[in-house]
Structure 1
């Protein structure tokens, strides 16, 4: 019953539901926006958490390897300036990351970012797994994220789950994790947020 309830929550949250029709970006388009955040390689778990009851609505993985991407399984974030291939968002510059968080955060949800430093090899494995994964069915966001993480050396202890906050709790227990929370108080859904979003050049 808990699994059914979790799937129902994820399906009803716009962040973990079928997105608007999105065109598959060309490899040339993806290459043209490639961005890597300076500094160490990192993996970040992004969790959308209810401000009402603390439940999780959606999760994604941001990977900063040879380039920075967001693996956004079953996500609804669609923006013309952010090319996507099979649930992977490319060109995740600081402006794009800020836009992603802003689109998800609202009066009912905030965004928790949990970042761990990894080796370049770990980040590259995660990046390739994300790119090879393919599009994810609705409500399977956290299942996809935990399945991916378990294949990265050093993360084999991650337990597979459908619950975003379960993954968040697992990450919180890891040594060296850096956590941030992002809040906004606007109304509406992620679809409204994306429609009103402006990402700076």
Structure 2
């Protein structure tokens, strides 16, 4: 049995009763699946305020048997990446760029920290993300750090409510590659959301 198809039907447990459950159908998830074949890796996204430097959101891209974004309590609504309880499927490099562009604007930038991991570690991260369930608002860093702490080699990542704390601990991992993304969109995220929706519609 294809392990990737098995993941589609994996039962999820709730992480918090206040979070909304989202469950894309099996066929939609199966059609969307994508993997970067080069290697296995994790990319931590931290959205930071340009003025204060404070972290506002945390998410984790996982390239395992498929490429997903664990986006706990995320607000990015679109039509190309089906979602199951804060896990976005079918994350191509193009859609990753749209995800980053949605968050980067005149008041916030995105820090992406990428680290290569063994295939089994990436797969464990994927399984943990799928099993996590929907995350309540303001729990993004806590949920992400809890996931990371369960992975071999990531034990020193502290479980934290603060996105910057998770980013600081992630930066201490061997071989981390860090990039920053900045854009000059207005502070209103709905502007970026409308632009991205139009671009995705044109692609379709």
- TM-score category, normalised to shorter length: 0.7 to 0.9
Aligned equivalent of 2:107: 108
Q: Distance in 1 between matches of 2:193 and 2:90?
A: 17
Aligned to 2:191: 192
Shift of 1:171: 1.2
Q: Which residue of structure 2 lines up, in the alignment, with residue 84 of structure 1?
A: 83
Deviations 1:21-43 (Å, cap 9, x if unpaired)? 89531121111010011311001
Is the partner of 1:74 in helix, strand or coil? coil
Using structure 1 for the length normalisation, give the TM-score: 0.86
The residue number in structure 2 matching 1:29 is 28
Q: What whole-Å deviation, never above 9, does each CA across 1:83-133 have from its counterpart, x for those lacking one?
A: 000000000001110100000000000010000000000000000000010
Check conservation: 1:114, 1:172, Cα contact below 8 A: yes
2:37 is matched with: 38
Distance across 2 between alignment mates of 1:121 and 1:177: 18
Deviation of residue 54 (structure 1)? 0.5
Check the 8 A contact 2:102/2:192 in 1, yes or no.
yes
Question: Which stretch shifts more, 53-62 or 168-177?
Answer: 168-177
Q: Is the 8 A contact 2:21 2:134 kept in 1?
A: no
Per the alignment, residue 7 of structure 2 pairs with: none
TM-superposition CA deviations, 1:47-106 (whole Å, max 9, x none): 001111111000100000001000000000110111000000000001110100000000
Distance in 2 between residues matched to 1:47 and 1:36, nearest whole Å: 22
Provide the alpha-carbon RMSD of the alignment.
Answer: 1.8
Instruction: Give the unaligned 5+ runs of structure 2.
Output: 1-17
How many residues are aligned here? 183
SS in 2 for 1:175: coil
Equivalent residues in 2 for 1:49-128, closer than 5 Å: 49-128=48-127
Contact 2:44 2:61 in 1 (8 A): yes
